[in-house]
Amino acid sequence: MSVPVWPYPARCAHRGAGKLAPENTLAAIRHGAAIGYRMFEFDVKLSADGVLVLMHDPTVDRTTSGHGRLASFTLGQIARLDAGSWHSPAFAGEPVPTLAGVAAWLRANHCLANIEIKPCPGREAETGAAVALEARALWAGAAVPPLLSSFSSQALAAAGAVAPELPRALLMHRLPHDWLAQVRALGCVAIDLHHELLDAALIDAAHAEGLKVLAYTVNDPGRAAMLAGMGLDLLITDAVDRIAFA
């Protein structure tokens, strides 16, 4: 799968439209698409029986009707969870989607993906490899592949080992002094930083090294405009109703 030179749009919806609809569900992705967004960030974990599903937290408690660690649930058990009622009654009964199901919808509707590899504790390499292999298969023949990102170096290294052609971004809460060496060692094409860490000098420095720069999670339109003016490549936002897609 060949990767065109940075084929992604300037705006990406965080966890689907994860504030206006239940995060990490197809309902959220459809909502963002209806507004006009064409790229979606979402979190992926492995179930107990090795199926990739969308979920942010290590437990299912916050965003579903269930209780306990996601890693202890089989796909059959996950399928019985209500992932919508916590948000609002309109979404009652919304299921936890699989990566395969989301990929099918995105490809059918000409939308793009930023898959955050969000491993359950202790499953970093396993999850990274599983996401990369399944993404390769699910997006086979696609003009634009999904962008894989993670805070876990182990997960990104494993993803790169099994599917080196898929573009990867290193997520960082802070900027260590050796950030460039880390990015190079992992073969990443981009850094993905909390927006408060970014300024024009850092964006320019990354660009000088041939890297793209992403920012999360930017919900203020003024800050979004400021970062765009600095040359930011991709902005991730919850505020899909207030920050125009591009």
Domain contains 88? no
Domain ranges, residue 110 = 11-58+98-237
Domain contains 116? yes
Query: Residue 221 is encoded by which pair of tokens?
Result: 């339109």
Total of domains in the chain: 1
pLDDT on residue 5: 81
For the segment 135-187, what is each residue's pLDDT rounded down to a tens digit? 999 999 999 999 999 999 999 999 999 999 999 999 999 999 999 999 999 99
pLDDT reading at 3 higher than 80:
no
CB-based contact 29:19 (threshold 8 Å): no
pLDDT reading at 118 higher than 90:
yes
For helices 99-108 and 26-35, the axis angle rounded to 10 degrees is: 20
pLDDT on residue 246: 78
Which residues are designated catalytic?
14, 56
Domain contains 125? yes
CB-based contact 154:128 (threshold 8 Å): yes
Domain contains 76? no
Handedness of CA 45, 119, 88, 215 (dihedral sign): negative
pLDDT reading at 2 higher than 80:
no
pLDDT reading at 46 higher than 70:
yes
227 vs 151, 214, 241, CA distance in Å? 22, 10, 18
Domain contains 70? no
Domain contains 91? no
Domain contains 146? yes
Instruction: Work out the percent of the chain whose per-residue pLDDT is above 90.
Output: 98
* CATH number of domain containing 119: 3.20.20.190
| Rounded Cα distance, 87 and 62, in Å | 10
Q: Which of 3-12, 133-142, 159-168, 193-202 has the lowest mean pLDDT?
A: 3-12
Domain contains 82? no
Mean pLDDT of the residues in the chain: 97
- Band of residue 4 on the pLDDT scale cut at 50, 70, 90: low
Determine the average pLDDT of the residues in 239-243: 97
Residue (of 100, 69, 84, 103) closest to 28 by Cα position: 84
